[in-house]
Amino acid sequence: MTAIRNSHKEEHLGSSAFITDIVIGMADGLTVPFALAAGLSGAVQSNAIVITAGIAEIVAGSIAMGLGGYLAGKTEQEHFQSELRREYAEVENIPEQEKGEVKLVFAQYGLSDHTQNQIVGELAKDKHKWVDFMMKYELGLEKPDVNRARNSAATIGISYIIGGLIPLSAYFFTHTPFQGLIISALLTILCLFLFGYFKSKVTGQPPLKGAIKVTLIGITAAAAAFLVAKVFNTLL
Amino acid sequence: MTAIRNSHKEEHLGSSAFITDIVIGMADGLTVPFALAAGLSGAVQSNAIVITAGIAEIVAGSIAMGLGGYLAGKTEQEHFQSELRREYAEVENIPEQEKGEVKLVFAQYGLSDHTQNQIVGELAKDKHKWVDFMMKYELGLEKPDVNRARNSAATIGISYIIGGLIPLSAYFFTHTPFQGLIISALLTILCLFLFGYFKSKVTGQPPLKGAIKVTLIGITAAAAAFLVAKVFNTLL
């Protein structure tokens, strides 16, 4: 749940964006279901309970991630459209003030008043380009891609499910939660490392460092969940 | 887990950023632990198991969110610094090519060659401002605030814990998972609605619409987790 929980500004297009979404969903899906299952393994005696809880988490997490991501993408789109309408209205109704705002963008980079005026004069000739400029350079808003948001949410949600099933699969083929935990940990740590490596490659980060980070987050979360669940289970 | 899972570009400063982090962590913490507990309520007979699983999820989720967010913030910082060094080197070593890149930014807005040259000429006088300009307008990178990333990760992680304890609290004071689920659902739906409302207010979205969205995500996730866990539990 780490990567897209943060406001990274990474631009990837086409298949690269698709691959990034897969890796994000899968690496995130590996972490929390793995940690939840590990936590329960120290506290309950039945694999069926670990599996049921893990499945419930995967369903909940993928819906929160997928549906939440989709709705957030729509909100972003609405926000962009309303700002766009506002900019068009402002360019129409208070052009002098808008010209002042363009000048301000360049004043901070030390451009002369003469050059500022020249820029504004030429920019204001084409209303659409002027508004485009304001959207991007005054407000810092890029046109969101609606299909991208929807596809991205679906890809991440599905990858979260697949990622989550990896740590959980160990509990299907073992007899006790303890056995399940051992296999699950080995399998998941390997996958976290591979996904961390791959994810860092795709996002242009040092791959080994990235792989270690992703793996450490997973191990820390699982160890903490294990300890806290054990303590709670003793108290209850 | 919805809001910051997406690459929103929202700028909030000071206390507003703090409040946004609290609301994000709490609204997200409400959703998945609520859905997990709801899912287990239909499948197990003991509140202790629901609580143990819920606690394990909250620990895992908050660590994934907090630690993951912190490390992602550091990665972003490193990325910015490496790009900054690269821009300084390019401005130093291949200034003509960099000037061409500045011109390209303005060419797409229909500015004349004459004005483009004038901008470049004035911008190139101050190397720092030139690099600042390239970072922001060519690469679209804003200087990340290290402290902000760390504080934000901590605030979100802690709020996730507090948010997650709300749906779980119902299972402490009831005798069966079914009773717990009823109280938990009433309590959580109320809180999701309030947080959705508050969150939308803070982020400048229509509050009622936002409240309904956040609540629906939570209910959908919980209902799906409940059904899937029940089916799995029958099969196992």
B114 CB burial (10 A radius; 0-12, 13-18, 19+)? exposed
Which of B156, B5, B75, B148 is closest to A5 using CA atoms? B5
Residues of A in contact with B157 (CB under 8 A): none
**Residues of chain B positioned with their CB less than 8 A from the CB of A11:** 140
**Between these two residues, A78 and A160, which has the higher pLDDT value?**
A160
Q: Residue A140 — left, alpha, or beta (φ > 0 → left; ψ -120 to 50 → alpha)?
A: left
Q: Which of B32, B52, B67 sits opposite A217 (nearest CB)?
A: B67
Which chain B residues touch A217 with a CB distance below 8 Å? 63-64, 67-68, 71
Q: Using 50, 70 and 90 to split pLDDT, how confident is the model at B15? A: low
Q: What is the pLDDT at residue A16?
A: 66
To the nearest 10°, report the CA torsion of A186, A189, A193, A194. Answer: 50
Query: Cβ A52–B40 below 8 Å, yes or no?
Result: yes
Determine whether the interchain pair A5/B72 forms a contact, defined as Cβ–Cβ distance below 8 Å.
yes
Average pLDDT over residues A113-118: 87
Alpha-carbon distance of B6 to B114, in angstroms, equals 41
State the best of B63, B103, B136, B236 to mutate against chain A, taking most chain A CBs within 10 Å: B63
Q: Do B229 and A55 touch (CB under 8 A)?
A: yes
**Chain-chain contact of A52 with B232 (C-beta, under 8 angstroms):** yes
CB contact under 8 A, A111 and B125: no
What residues in A contact B32, CB-CB < 8 Å? 57, 60-61, 64
**Whole-number percent of chain B with pLDDT over 90:** 36
Q: Which residues of B touch A49 (CB under 8 A)?
A: 44, 49, 53
**Gap from B38 CA to chain A (nearest CA, Å):** 9
Residue that wins the pLDDT comparison between A192 and B108: A192
Cα of A106 to nearest chain B Cα, Å: 9
Are B53 and A48 within 8 A, CB to CB? no
Question: Using 50, 70 and 90 to split pLDDT, how confident is the model at B2?
Answer: very low
Angle in degrees, CA B75, B80, B84, rounded to 5: 150
Distance between start and end Cα atoms, chain A: 29
Is the pLDDT at A7 greater than 60? The verdict is no
Q: Which chain A residue shows the shortest CA-CA distance from B130? A: A109
Closest residue to B32, CB basis, from A38, A64, A132: A64
Q: How confident is the model at residue A15 (pLDDT cuts 50, 70, 90)?
A: low
Pick the more confident residue, B68 or B85. B85
Greater pLDDT, A36 or B121: A36
Residue A26 confidence (pLDDT): 84
Residue scoring higher pLDDT (A17 or B201): B201
**Residue B14, pLDDT score:** 47
- pLDDT value at residue A127: 86
**Among all residues of chain A, which has the CA nearest to that of B171?**
A236
Please tell me the predicted confidence (pLDDT) of residue A220: 93
Lowest mean pLDDT among A12-26, A88-102, A104-118: A12-26
Convert the pLDDT of each residue in A29-50 to its tens digit: 899 999 999 999 988 989 999 9
Per-residue pLDDT band at A212 (split at 50, 70, 90): very high
* pLDDT attached to residue A156: 84
Residues from chain A contacting residue B3 (CB–CB below 8 Å): 68, 72
- Is the predicted pLDDT of residue B176 greater than 60, yes or no? yes
Helix, strand or coil for residue B22?
helix
pLDDT over 90 at A76, yes or no:
no
What pLDDT does A37 receive? 95
Number of CB pairs, chain A paired with chain B, less than 8 A apart: 284
If one counts every other C-beta atom within 10 angstroms of the C-beta of residue A1, the result is 30
Q: What is the mean predicted confidence (pLDDT) over B209-225?
A: 91
Cβ distance B110 to A123 less than 8 Å, yes or no, reads yes
pLDDT at residue B101 in the model:
85
pLDDT of residue A8: 35
Q: For residues B201 and B23, is the Cβ–Cβ distance under 8 A? A: no
- The whole model's pTM is what? 0.81
pLDDT digits (tens, 9 = 90+) for A131-181: 888 888 777 787 877 777 788 888 889 999 999 999 999 999 999 999 999
User: Is the pLDDT score of B48 beyond 70?
Assistant: yes
The predicted pLDDT at position B98 comes to 85
Q: Which residue of A has its CA nearest to B156?
A: A5
What residues in B contact A226, CB-CB < 8 Å?
A: 56
The per-residue pLDDT for A69 is: 76
Closest residue of chain A to B231, computed from CA coordinates: A52
% of chain A residues with pLDDT over 90: 36
Arithmetic mean of pLDDT over chain B: 84
Average pLDDT over residues A200-228: 89
Write out the E strands in A18-170: none
Q: Which chain A residues are closer than 8 Å to B149 by Cβ?
A: 6
A3-17, A61-75, B7-21: which has the minimum mean pLDDT? A3-17
User: To 10 degrees, what angle do helices A207-235 and B47-93 make?
Assistant: 160
Please give the ipTM for the structure prediction.
0.80
Kindly determine whether residue A36 and residue B43, on different chains, have CB atoms separated by under 8 Å: no
